C-alpha cells in the first residue's frame, strides 16, 4: 500500500494561423498528495515547464502561450515562444494559507539552414518563477546549442 494519492488532469489547445500559434492550457491536481515522480523521469504534464511543474497538492493552473515562426516572414530557422502560467489553491497543510505561483518563459531560437553550420541550433531560454507562501523565487537563463544529424 502506498501513501501516494494524486490524480492529474490536463489539456492544451492550440490554434495556428500563418506563422502564429496561440495556446491555452489547463491543469488540475487532486488527491491527498502532489504529483508523484519516479526518480529520474520527466512526467507528461501540460504545465510542466522550464522551472515549475504546477503539480502541487490540489493546485489548479492555467497557461497562455504564443509562438511565432519567422519562416512565415522570410526568415527560416528563427522561432520565438513565450508563455505565462499561473497556479493557485495549493494546499500547504492545516492552518496555512493556500500557495500561489506564476512562471513566465521566453525562448528565441535559430537553426542554420545552409553552409558549414547547417542544422546547428542555438536557443536562448529565459524563465522567471514567483511563489507566494512557499518555495523560492527563481530567475534562470539557459543557452542551448544543438545539432541535428540527418541519418537518411
List all residues 6 or more positions away from 125 whose beta carbon is below 8 Å from its beta carbon. Answer: 50, 105, 106, 107, 140, 141, 142, 143, 144
pLDDT grade for 76, boundaries at 50, 70 and 90: very high
The closest of 58, 142, 152 to 106, measured between CA atoms, is 142
> Does residue 91 form part of some domain?
yes
1 part of a folded domain = no
Q: If you search the block for the grid coordinates 539552414, which residue do you land on?
A: 113
The verdict on residue 143 lying in a domain is: yes
Position 30 in a domain: yes
Compute CA 70 distance to the chain's CA centroid, rounded to the nearest angstrom.
Answer: 21
Q: What is the CATH number of the domain that holds 30?
A: 2.40.160.10
User: Domain for residue 2, yes or no?
Assistant: no
Instruction: Determine what percent of the chain is predicted with pLDDT higher than 70.
Output: 99
Contact assessment for residue 10 and residue 45, using Cβ atoms and an 8 Å cutoff: yes
Q: What is the pLDDT of residue 97?
A: 86
Q: In this model, does residue 1 exceed pLDDT 60? A: no
Residue 140's domain comprises 7-147
Residue 152 lies in a domain: no
CA dist 71 → 17, 96, 110 (Å): 13, 50, 11
| Residue 116 belongs to a domain | yes
Decide if pLDDT at 5 tops 90. Answer: no
Asked whether residue 90 is assigned to any structural domain, the reply reads: yes
Give the chain's domain count: 1
Condensed to tens digits (0 to 9), the pLDDT of residues 27-65 reads: 999 988 888 877 777 788 999 999 999 999 999 999 999
Beta-carbon contacts of residue 74 (< 8 Å; ≥ 6 apart): none
Name the residue with cell 535559430.
110
Amino acid at each position: 500500500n502506498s501513501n501516494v494519492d494524486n490524480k492529474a488532469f490536463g489539456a492544451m489547445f492550440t490554434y495556428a494561423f500563418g506563422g502564429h500559434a496561440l495556446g491555452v492550457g489547463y491543469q488540475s491536481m487532486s488527491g491527498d498528495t502532489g504529483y508523484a515522480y519516479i526518480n529520474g523521469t520527466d512526467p507528461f504534464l501540460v504545465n510542466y515547464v522550464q522551472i515549475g511543474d504546477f503539480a502541487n497538492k490540489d493546485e489548479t493552473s492555467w497557461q497562455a502561450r504564443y509562438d511565432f515562426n519567422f519562416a512565415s516572414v522570410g526568415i527560416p530557422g528563427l522561432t520565438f515562444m513565450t508563455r505565462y502560467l499561473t497556479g493557485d489553491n495549493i494546499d500547504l497543510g492545516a492552518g496555512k494559507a493556500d500557495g500561489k505561483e506564476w512562471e513566465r518563459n521566453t525562448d528565441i531560437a535559430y537553426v542554420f539552414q545552409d553552409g558549414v553550420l547547417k542544422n546547428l541550433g542555438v536557443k536562448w531560454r529565459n524563465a522567471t518563477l514567483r511563489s507566494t507562501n512557499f518555495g523560492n523565487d527563481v530567475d534562470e537563463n539557459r543557452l542551448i546549442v544543438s545539432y541535428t544529424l540527418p541519418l537518411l
